[in-house]
Amino acid sequence: MTLIGGIEAGGTKFVCAVGTGPQDIHDSVRFATTTPAETIAQAIAFFRWQKQPVAAIGIGSFGPVDLTLNSPTFGYVTSTPKPGWANVNLLGQIQQAIPVPIAFDTDVNAAAYGEYRWGAAQGLDNFLYLTIGTGIGGGGMVNGDLIHGLVHPEMGHLLIPHDLEADPYPGHCPFHGDCLEGLASGPAMKARWGQSAETLPEDHPAWELEATYIAYGLVNLIASFSPQRIILGGGVMSQPRIFDLVRRRVQAFLNGYVQHPAILQGIDRYIVPPALGNWAGVLGAMALAQTGIGGG
C-alpha cells in the first residue's frame, strides 16, 4: 500500500502523520509551532525517520498563504502577524528536503477535504468547514471544488453586528477590532471574561454571547454560499453545549427566510462537529496529496 504523508501546519501546533487513511495511521506526531526553522526541521525529521518513504505529502497550512501556482511565492506563508512566520517558504523548504509530490492548501481547506473524503461532508458538493479556536478560519467546497479565489477565504474576518451596550469588549483583531475573530475567537473569550474558554462553566453567560456571534457569522455564510452543511471544529467548539446554542440562534436569525427542511427541521444535521475530530486537518492534508488536487 502506498504511504502518504500529511502535515497540518497550524499557527499553534503542527501535526504530521503517515498512513493511508483514518483507519490506517502508521505514525504521527504533534509539536508546538515555534520558530520556522525549528518547526519545519521537526516536520522534515518526522518523515525522514520513517522506515518506508512516503509517495506524496499534503500540507494544510495556517495563513495567509500564497496558493497561486505560477507565483514566485507559491507555497509561502505570507502576511501573517505571527512573529517570524511572515514570508516563510514553507512548501519550498519541505519540498527541498523531501523530493516527492507535495500538495498545498490552507489548513481549513485541508480539513474540509478530509471531512469530504472520510467524514461529515461525504457526498456533499457545497459545504463549509470552520475552525473556531485561537483564530477563526473557514474553507470548503462550491460545486465540488475547494474554494480559493483571488487569495483564499478569510472567514474569520466577517464584519458582524456588535451591541456595545450588551458587550463592551472592543474586540482583539489587530486589523478589524470587532470582526468575528476579534469577538469570538478563544483569545477574545479569555480577554473578555478573564479566563480561558476551557475553564468557563457550561452555564456561564459567555456561551450565550459566543453562540450569538458564531450564529451571526454562519447566517452570513449561509446567505453567501447556501451550503448544504456547515462543520464547526476548533477548541472553542469542544464545549458540549455550544452547538445547540448556535443552531437555535441560526434558525432565529434566519427567521424562516431560507425555506429548506435542512434548516427548518434538520438543523442538528446541518451544523455539525467534524466526524474526524481534531484529525480532520492532517487527514485532509493526506487526502489532498492522494488526489493531487492541492494548490491553485
Give residues in contact with its own copies (CB under 8 A). 64, 78-79, 126, 138, 142-143, 145, 147-162, 175-176, 216, 219-228, 253-260, 262-263
Contact between residue 120 and residue 275 where contact means Cβ atoms under 8 Å apart: yes
Among residues 21 and 64, whose Cβ is nearest to its own copies?
64
Between CA 259 and CA 266, with CA 262 as vertex, the angle to 5 degrees is 120
Judged by CB, which is closer to its own copies: 106, or 278? 106
Kindly state the smallest distance separating residue 138's Cβ from its own copies, in Å: 8
- Tell me the β-bridge partners of 31: 14
Task: Give the CA count within 13 Å in the CB-facing half-sphere of 123.
Answer: 1
**In the complex with its own copies, which residue's Cβ is closer, 48 or 260?**
260
> How near is the Cβ of 170 to its own copies at its closest, in Å?
13
Shortest CB 199 distance to its own copies, Å: 30
Nearer to its own copies, 58 or 137 (CB): 137
Identify whether the C-beta of residue 197 lies closer than 8 Å to the C-beta of residue 184.
no
Query: What minimum distance in Å lies between the beta carbon of 257 and its own copies?
Result: 4
Q: Cβ of residue 156: shortest distance to its own copies, in angstroms?
A: 8
Q: Which is closer to its own copies, CB of 1 or CB of 264? A: 264
Please identify, using beta-carbon distances, which residue of 98 and 258 lies nearer to its own copies.
Answer: 258
- All cell numbers assigned to 172: 482583539
- Quote the least distance from Cβ 173 to its own copies, whole Å: 9
Amino acid identity of 46? Answer: F
